[in-house]
């Protein structure tokens, strides 16, 4: 799929969102205009060399169209998995089998002959929301991404916070209930087991098995694409068991975000990812739990007329949808270019 091209108003960069299902590549200019976007299927079964070749061909195609009148800052790539930022090695990616300990950045940079920055996909999405989305204008924010699993990204001082080895922000494995559902990470009761699309389907099937959710049981039997979206639609339509499942999502997120508020005291926390489209179904329970779990939030919640503007703790949903990671990935080489220009100017 191709988005019709626009003329860039400034220098540009290429953002890549490499997922286990879709590969998306976009040209974005320095003011945040999405100039053109290409969407391909990620054919992981054909091996990493095939995927990298397709990616590089699409990047070169976009670059050739815009480099004639503008300067390419570089390429930013958001990729699912654990990246060792000291070596730019992709250590592990469950959605990309065969990419274990693969020097992705080095390989793509060699093929393209340009600056390439590799970043975790959730970090890239957080950076996109900080640049152009719900966190625009804030140098410090935290984003929780609710998809197949739960991820997150932390932006501090206008930069992604990576931690010691680039592995910071694994918010999906913060604990909600020590005696809760077993998690694939080896722990129990992680937020991923209560607020991801996978968790919603699991909780729904568990409820169906009790015989207490006949409408959900019928939907699960009749709909081959039964998933979190169907459960949300039924919750909106008034199905009590579906509403209870989304209250559980909100309860878990309330505990989770309360911990983040108490730790960081940031001005904004953003909830994104596919499950965030059910915001109206889980947000009331989220805020009910947040108010009693975080004394920091209770002291800084919006609505106090005497509180100075900009001093409230905002918890909200993302604004950029599925393009957040593309924008964030594209912004990375722009920021690097700006820093380099600043350093040169000071010499």
Percent of the chain with pLDDT over 90: 73
| Banded model confidence at residue 227, pLDDT cuts 50, 70, 90 | very high
pLDDT in tens, 84-130: 888 888 888 877 888 888 888 999 999 999 989 999 999 999 999 99
Segments forming the whole domain that contains residue 185: 134-319
What pLDDT does residue 303 have? 77
Residue 341 covered by a domain: no
Pair 74, 169 in one domain: no
Pair 68, 140 in one domain: no
Pair 152, 253 in one domain: yes
CB 334 within 8 A of CB 27: no
Report, as an integer, the average pLDDT of 254-276.
97
Query: What average pLDDT is seen over the chain?
Result: 90
Residue 16 covered by a domain: yes
Return d(Cα 79, Cα 325) in angstroms, integer.
9
The domain boundary, picked from 94, 121, 148, lies at 121
The DSSP code sequence of 84-114 is ETTTTEEEE-TTSTT-TTB-HHHHHHHHHTS
| Banded model confidence at residue 345, pLDDT cuts 50, 70, 90 | low
Pair 155, 243 in one domain: yes
Pair 115, 141 in one domain: no
**Domains in the chain, number:** 2
Domain CATH code at residue 27: 3.30.420.40
The domain boundary, picked from 121, 145, 168, lies at 121
CB 114 within 8 A of CB 333: no
| Banded model confidence at residue 246, pLDDT cuts 50, 70, 90 | very high
The domain boundary, picked from 91, 121, 151, lies at 121
Residue from 131, 171, 121 nearest 155 by CA: 131
Residue 129 covered by a domain: no
What pLDDT does residue 88 have? 85
Return d(Cα 185, Cα 151) in angstroms, integer.
13
pLDDT in tens, 304-340: 545 555 689 999 999 999 999 999 999 999 988 776 6
Answer whether residue 190 shows pLDDT above 90.
yes
Long-range CB contacts (< 8 A, 24+ apart) of 292-300? 293/254, 293/255, 293/258, 293/259, 294/257, 294/258, 294/259, 294/261, 294/262, 295/262, 296/261, 296/262, 296/265, 297/258, 297/261
Pair 268, 309 in one domain: yes
CB 269 within 8 A of CB 314: yes
| Banded model confidence at residue 347, pLDDT cuts 50, 70, 90 | low
Query: Bridge partners of 92?
Result: 82
Return d(Cα 145, Cα 66) in angstroms, integer.
32
| Banded model confidence at residue 341, pLDDT cuts 50, 70, 90 | low
| More confident: 316 or 69 | 316
Residue 180 covered by a domain: yes
Residue 23 covered by a domain: yes
CB 169 within 8 A of CB 153: yes
Coil, helix or strand for 44?
A: helix
Task: Name every residue whose Cβ is closer than 8 Å to that of residue 37 and which is 6 or more positions away in sequence.
Answer: 1, 2, 3, 24, 25, 26, 27, 326
Pair 109, 163 in one domain: no
Return d(Cα 119, Cα 332) in angstroms, integer.
9
Coil, helix or strand for 270?
A: strand
Pair 273, 190 in one domain: yes
pTM > 0.95: no
Pair 161, 272 in one domain: yes
| More confident: 113 or 285 | 285
Pair 164, 299 in one domain: yes
Residue 342 covered by a domain: no
pLDDT in tens, 147-158: 989 999 999 999
| Banded model confidence at residue 134, pLDDT cuts 50, 70, 90 | very high
CB 247 within 8 A of CB 111: no
What pLDDT does residue 223 have? 87
Residue 314 covered by a domain: yes
Quote the tokens at residue 14.
């290429």
What pLDDT does residue 165 have? 85
Pair 101, 20 in one domain: yes
Quote the tokens at residue 29.
């200019």
Residue 339 covered by a domain: no
Pair 160, 203 in one domain: yes
| Banded model confidence at residue 167, pLDDT cuts 50, 70, 90 | confident
């Amino acid at each position: 799929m191709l988005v019709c091209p626009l003329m860039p108003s400034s220098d540009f960069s290429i953002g890549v969102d490499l997922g286990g299902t879709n590969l998306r590549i976009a040209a974005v200019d320095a003011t945040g205009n999405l100039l053109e976007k290409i969407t391909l299927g990620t054919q992981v079964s054909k091996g990493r060399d095939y995927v990298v070749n397709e990616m590089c061909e699409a990047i070169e195609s976009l670059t050739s169209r815009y480099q004639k009148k503008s300067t390419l800052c570089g390429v930013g790539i958001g990729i699912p998995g654990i990246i060792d930022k000291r070596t730019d090695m992709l250590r592990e990616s469950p959605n990309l089998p065969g990419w274990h300990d693969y020097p992705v950045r080095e390989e793509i940079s060699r093929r393209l002959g340009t600056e390439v920055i590799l970043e975790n996909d959730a970090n890239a999405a957080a950076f996109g929301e900080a640049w152009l989305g719900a966190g625009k204008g804030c140098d410090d924010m935290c984003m929780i991404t609710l998809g197949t699993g739960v991820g997150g990204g932390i932006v501090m001082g206008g930069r992604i916070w990576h931690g010691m080895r680039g592995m910071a922000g694994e918010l999906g494995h913060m604990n909600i209930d020590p005696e809760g559902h077993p998690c694939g990470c080896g722990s129990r009761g992680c937020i991923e087991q209560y607020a991801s699309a996978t968790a919603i389907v699991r909780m729904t099937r568990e409820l169906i098995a009790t015989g207490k959710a006949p409408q959900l049981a019928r939907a699960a039997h009749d709909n081959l694409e039964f998933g979190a979206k169907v459960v949300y639609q039924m919750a909106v339509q008034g199905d009590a068991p579906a509403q209870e499942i989304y209250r559980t999502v909100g309860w878990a997120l309330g505990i989770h975000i309360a911990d983040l508020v108490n730790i960081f005291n940031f001005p904004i926390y953003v909830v994104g990812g596919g499950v965030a489209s059910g915001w109206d179904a889980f947000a009331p329970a989220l805020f009910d739990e947040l108010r009693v779990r975080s004394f920091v939030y209770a002291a800084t919640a919006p609505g106090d007329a005497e509180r100075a503007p900009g001093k409230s703790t905002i918890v909200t949903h993302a604004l950029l949808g599925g393009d957040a990671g593309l924008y964030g990935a594209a912004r990375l080489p722009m920021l690097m270019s700006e820093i380099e220009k600043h350093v040169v100017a000071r010499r």
